[in-house]
Chains A and B, each alone.
Chain A
Amino acid sequence: MRINRIEISWFRGAADSAELDTESKNVAIYGANGSGKSTFSDALEYMVKKGKIRHLRHEYSGTHQEKGVINTHAPDGATSLINIDFEGGISIGTIIAKDGVPSFASSPPDFIEFMQQWELEQLILRQDEVATFVIKQKGDKYSALLPLLGLEDLEEAANNLNKLSQHIKAEGRLTEKQATLGSLKQEASRWLPDFSDTTVSNFLEALSRSYIVGKIPTERDSLIATLRDSIEAKLETLQPEINRYTLSKQIYDEDVPRKLSEAMKTQAELRGKIDVLLDSRIEILERTSVFIDRLARDINEIDCPSCGRAIKVNEFTNHVSHELKSLQELRSIRDIAKSTLRNLTNSLDKVQRDFKQDIISSWLNEEEQKELRVPATQLLSIDLAIWHDEYPTEDIAVLDNILPQIITRIKSVLDKAAPSTKKLLDDKATVDAISNVDRITTLEKEIKRMNRIIGALASSEDAIRGYIRSRTQDIIGNISSDILNLWTKLHPGEPIEDIKLYIPGDADKAIDICLKFFGKNQPSPRLTLSEGHRNSLGLCIFLGLSRLDDSKKHPIFLDDIVSSWDREHRGMLARILMEDLSDRQVFLFTHDREWFHELRTVLPAKTWKFLVLKPWISPDIGLRWSQSQDTFDDARDLIKQNAEAAGNRVRAIMDTQLGIIAEKLKIRMPYARGDRNDCRTCIEFLETIISEAKTHLRKRVGDAWQEYLDPIDDLNNARKFLIAWGDRASHAGTITPSEVEQLIQICEKALDRFKCEGCRSFIWAADRVSQEKLQCTCGNMQWKYG
């Protein structure tokens, strides 16, 4: 399945219309960073993922990613669209509405469904994904490999389910409700053996018989109200002494000492946690300022501000999440503390009101109540209006002192009371307990429901994680042999063998790679693999994954993946592209000019198309193809802004191009001392090529071979101007825009001289090894290297 054409309009960085015409060939695209190469892989991803692009998956891109997908400067009336034509007349397209909603269509109509089943991790490999994988430890390598395994979205889902549980807990005030329920149940349990409907009915029936004369209300709330009224009416008829007893009983039953003790306990717990938290947060803030400074310098690894362990910068998110969890725990404790404090305040308020009743205040004034009067007066002097979320510590000291005295005196009053009075008050307390049963039941239901939802979310999270694990195991088992085979091809003769992915049995959410290094088993590539090796391992994994389903044979996009590779290994990749991916259409994007030129000389023009993107300038101009194949447009684009930089760019392009050409022409450069062997300039190459061309370069005229001097003149011309103007741009910074323009034309002409004027193929198109000569396709231009 080959792509013939990709057309994009007002999509990502593209403006009016940008077309990539592949002619059904493989495509290598060179472009500087930001020139828009990845827009084509984004377009494919957009189609496959039904209007979503993975790297735009964040809260700033809008509901339909419209803020990232549509060109930010698309004029009114402009249409954002993508059209992809495949061989065989198959095509697919989408128009993206202003709100980002895409409308897909394809011919044949069911092709879109087929295409949207393609798995992205088998289609597109981006540089950032390889690099992410490379720097990770085994736990994080798991996360980094997930996109390659196509399981990243499941990991995100597991994390979101976990966070949703925490929000259910917080928004449902689960901890606070559990505390309230505990308190209500404890109170009610003093009067009721259980809270079942039968028990409550039995109690109500018994109480009704004792206190209600006539018709008994059938509705429970009315019955409770009637009972309460009846008991209170009886209490009102009692003698003042008994009323005094009643109030004393109410005071006693409030159980203020217990509530005070609970409030103190939770406040102490809260204080203890806050103290520790404050110290650690202050320390974190101090270290974070250092951390931010270092981040600005783009350091990958830092010491965690919290625990001091060396961590990767992007692991910091996990640490923040951990800190958040600690704060959430603290919030739960605070909720309980608030609840117990509110409980205490309510009880104290009731007790104060009881003490203020005439019957108690006059009783307190009696001489024999002197011992109770003093603490009671102190209790009444406490101003509860200022008790909110906190309380004055001096009030607590007073309460600690007076409550035992008050309770002892009140209890002695209660002990002396008549049994009938006790029963009346106990029955009133029982009715109060029954009136709370509904609230207890409601709270129990709410808590049970919340726990059920939280449990379901937890088991869903577990199920997703279990699935990720088994799927990962399955996939990596499948691709390990491919990985090993490709690795051997990329790194022939290297003492790193038996490379394969595995899931460590002793760790959760972990993937690692084991290998043999000089015959010894190594549990991790971190011990032995260089960055370039780890990057190429990432590529092997991708290619292994792309082969998981051979039935689809869709194109493969390799987006800027070889930045960390040396020249030799990039050369090996070219071999894999030719030998192992010949049945796939490959789109290769690179910002590496040297490698691009090298590929042009290595990969067959019959099956490969080479394109160059000009540097991207602004959203309204969009993507622009260069007409030049030599990337001089990079330099041309710089002329207006900075002529010196453009001149330097021309020098750099010629350094690269001529280095490759010299190698193609099998020219032996004179030995240079030290590093200079690897840093030769275009001038050195030109001088050697010109010198050898005089005897090696020939042209067929009729049946005879003649020396061919015209190209040498152009090479000499390029040498002369590169020395004069190229050096001026590098060293003196005085080159003018028109001089750069002229220099580019001279260099382009010189490079074009390595192509045959007739067949337009390079002079090294064919290598006649036995005759030690290179020649163009038509054979009219020859380079003898023997």
Chain B
Amino acid sequence: MITQMGENKSDRKPKKSVGEILRSSMPDIETYDSAVYQLIITKADEGFFEQHQTTGSLKNLAIQLLNMPQESSPHNEN
């Protein structure tokens, strides 16, 4: 019986969201380009990346990212 199988299955960790993964994989951007970081994380939390996106919507996001003000002071970069 499969009811007897799969011990400790309920211990499996819940699936990470894209936002959770992204938060820990962009330390450089978080430090030096916080507005860009925030926009990417916001989009991730909205589920933007998980959905199929057209070329147009990805292009718009790219333009938006490039036009974000760079708030962190550049002297910190080195």
- Known contacts being A150-B15, A471-B15, A547-B5, is A450 close to B28, with CB within 8 Å? no
Task: Report the Cα distance A243→B11, complex, angstroms.
Answer: 86
Residue numbers in A under 8 Å from B26 (CB-CB): 456, 459-460
Asked if B73 is an interface residue, CB under 8 A from chain A, the answer is: no
Stretch at the interface among A158-166, A346-354, A594-602, A708-716: A158-166
- Known contacts being A161-B49, A171-B59, is A478 close to B66, with CB within 8 Å? no
Asked if B76 is an interface residue, CB under 8 A from chain A, the answer is: no
The answer to whether B1 touches A580, judged by C-beta atoms less than 8 angstroms apart, is: yes
The answer to whether B15 touches A452, judged by C-beta atoms less than 8 angstroms apart, is: no
Residue numbers in A under 8 Å from B58 (CB-CB): 160, 163-164, 167
Q: Give the Cβ gap from B18 to chain A, nearest Cβ, in Å.
A: 5
Stretch at the interface among A372-380, A479-487, A616-624: A479-487
Residue numbers in A under 8 Å from B53 (CB-CB): 59, 160, 163
Residue numbers in B under 8 Å from A478 (CB-CB): 6, 9, 12
Asked if A707 is an interface residue, CB under 8 A from chain B, the answer is: no
Interface residues of B in 45-68 (CB under 8 A from A): 47-55, 58-59, 61-63, 65-66
Interface residues of B in 19-59 (CB under 8 A from A): 21-22, 24-26, 28-29, 32-33, 36-37, 40, 44, 47-55, 58-59
- Known contacts being A463-B22, A471-B15, A548-B12, is A452 close to B28, with CB within 8 Å? yes
The answer to whether A57 touches B52, judged by C-beta atoms less than 8 angstroms apart, is: yes
The answer to whether B33 touches A449, judged by C-beta atoms less than 8 angstroms apart, is: yes
The range of chain A's interface size is 35 or more
Q: Mark A575-605, 1 if CB is under 8 A from B, else 0.
A: 0000110010000000000000000000000
Partner of B49, one of A157, A449, A486, A548: A157
The answer to whether A460 touches B25, judged by C-beta atoms less than 8 angstroms apart, is: yes
- Known contacts being A154-B18, A452-B29, is A167 close to B59, with CB within 8 Å? yes
Q: Give the Cβ gap from B16 to chain A, nearest Cβ, in Å.
A: 6
The answer to whether B22 touches A547, judged by C-beta atoms less than 8 angstroms apart, is: no
Q: Which of A58, A156, A474 lies at the interface centre, i.e. has the most chain B CB atoms within 10 A of its CB?
A: A156
- Known contacts being A453-B36, A580-B1, is A479 close to B6, with CB within 8 Å? yes
Q: Give the Cβ gap from A102 to chain B, nearest Cβ, in Å.
A: 14
A-B contact count (CB 8 A): 129
Asked if A549 is an interface residue, CB under 8 A from chain B, the answer is: yes
Partner of B21, one of A117, A172, A445, A467: A467
Asked if A504 is an interface residue, CB under 8 A from chain B, the answer is: no
The answer to whether A453 touches B33, judged by C-beta atoms less than 8 angstroms apart, is: yes
The answer to whether A481 touches B49, judged by C-beta atoms less than 8 angstroms apart, is: no
- Known contacts being A156-B51, A172-B66, A482-B2, is A167 close to B61, with CB within 8 Å? yes
Partner of B9, one of A157, A164, A550: A550
Task: Report the Cα distance A583→B47, complex, angstroms.
Answer: 34
Residue numbers in A under 8 Å from B1 (CB-CB): 579-580
Residue numbers in A under 8 Å from B25 (CB-CB): 456, 459-460, 462-463
Task: Report the Cα distance A467→B19, complex, angstroms.
Answer: 13
Partner of A547, one of B2, B18, B59, B70: B2
Task: Report the Cα distance A456→B34, complex, angstroms.
Answer: 12
- Known contacts being A57-B51, A58-B52, A450-B66, is A455 close to B28, with CB within 8 Å? yes
Residue of A nearest to B14 (CB): A117
Q: Give the Cβ gap from A255 to chain B, nearest Cβ, in Å.
A: 32
Residue of A nearest to B54 (CB): A59
Chain B residues within 8 Å of chain A by Cβ, number: 44
Residue of A nearest to B30 (CB): A456
Q: Give the Cβ gap from A125 to chain B, nearest Cβ, in Å.
A: 15
Partner of B29, one of A117, A167, A171, A456: A456
- Known contacts being A153-B18, A450-B66, is A59 close to B52, with CB within 8 Å? yes
Residue of B nearest to A158 (CB): B49
Task: Report the Cα distance A548→B55, complex, angstroms.
Answer: 37
Asked if A543 is an interface residue, CB under 8 A from chain B, the answer is: yes
Asked if A464 is an interface residue, CB under 8 A from chain B, the answer is: yes
Task: Report the Cα distance A450→B65, complex, angstroms.
Answer: 9
Interface residues of A in 160-197 (CB under 8 A from B): 160-161, 163-164, 167-168, 170-172
Q: Give the Cβ gap from B78 to chain A, nearest Cβ, in Å.
A: 11
Q: Which of B10, B48, B49 lies at the interface centre, i.e. has the most chain A CB atoms within 10 A of its CB?
A: B49
Task: Report the Cα distance A752→B51, complex, angstroms.
Answer: 51
Q: Mark A425-457, 1 if CB is under 8 A from B, else 0.
A: 000000000000000000001001110110111
Asked if A551 is an interface residue, CB under 8 A from chain B, the answer is: yes
Residue of B nearest to A119 (CB): B15
The answer to whether B32 touches A452, judged by C-beta atoms less than 8 angstroms apart, is: yes
Residue numbers in A under 8 Å from B14 (CB-CB): 117
Interface residues of A in 346-405 (CB under 8 A from B): none
Task: Report the Cα distance A479→B7, complex, angstroms.
Answer: 10
Residue numbers in A under 8 Å from B51 (CB-CB): 57, 153, 156
Task: Report the Cα distance A170→B63, complex, angstroms.
Answer: 10
- Known contacts being A117-B14, A172-B66, A456-B26, is A157 close to B6, with CB within 8 Å? no
Residue of B nearest to A481 (CB): B5
Residue numbers in B under 8 Å from A156 (CB-CB): 49-52
Residue of B nearest to A462 (CB): B25
Residue numbers in B under 8 Å from A168 (CB-CB): 62, 65-66
The answer to whether B3 touches A580, judged by C-beta atoms less than 8 angstroms apart, is: yes
The answer to whether A452 touches B33, judged by C-beta atoms less than 8 angstroms apart, is: yes
The answer to whether B59 touches A460, judged by C-beta atoms less than 8 angstroms apart, is: no
The answer to whether B15 touches A549, judged by C-beta atoms less than 8 angstroms apart, is: no
Partner of A551, one of B10, B24, B63: B10
Residue of A nearest to B77 (CB): A448
Q: Give the Cβ gap from A457 to chain B, nearest Cβ, in Å.
A: 8
Residue of B nearest to A161 (CB): B49
Task: Report the Cα distance A194→B12, complex, angstroms.
Answer: 57
Residue numbers in B under 8 Å from A583 (CB-CB): 3
Q: Give the Cβ gap from A474 to chain B, nearest Cβ, in Å.
A: 7
The answer to whether B61 touches A164, judged by C-beta atoms less than 8 angstroms apart, is: yes
Residue numbers in A under 8 Å from B44 (CB-CB): 157
Q: Which of B2, B37, B74 lies at the interface centre, i.e. has the most chain A CB atoms within 10 A of its CB?
A: B2
Q: Give the Cβ gap from B25 to chain A, nearest Cβ, in Å.
A: 4
Partner of B6, one of A52, A58, A462, A548: A548
Residue numbers in B under 8 Å from A485 (CB-CB): 2, 5
Task: Report the Cα distance A226→B8, complex, angstroms.
Answer: 79
Task: Report the Cα distance A105→B44, complex, angstroms.
Answer: 25
The 6 A-B residue pairs with the shortest CB-CB distance, nearest first, are A167-B62, A153-B50, A157-B49, A463-B25, A456-B26, A456-B29
Q: List 18 A-B contacts (CB under 8 A).
A: A59-B53, A117-B14, A151-B15, A153-B18, A157-B44, A157-B50, A160-B48, A160-B53, A160-B58, A455-B28, A456-B25, A457-B40, A479-B6, A485-B2, A485-B5, A548-B9, A548-B12, A550-B6
Tell me the B residues contacting A by CB distance below 8 Å.
1-3, 5-6, 9-10, 12, 14-16, 18, 21-22, 24-26, 28-29, 32-33, 36-37, 40, 44, 47-55, 58-59, 61-63, 65-66, 70, 74, 77
Q: Given A167-B61, A463-B25, list of 14 further CB < 8 A pairs?
A: A154-B21, A160-B53, A164-B58, A164-B62, A171-B62, A171-B66, A448-B77, A460-B21, A460-B25, A460-B40, A463-B24, A482-B2, A548-B6, A580-B1
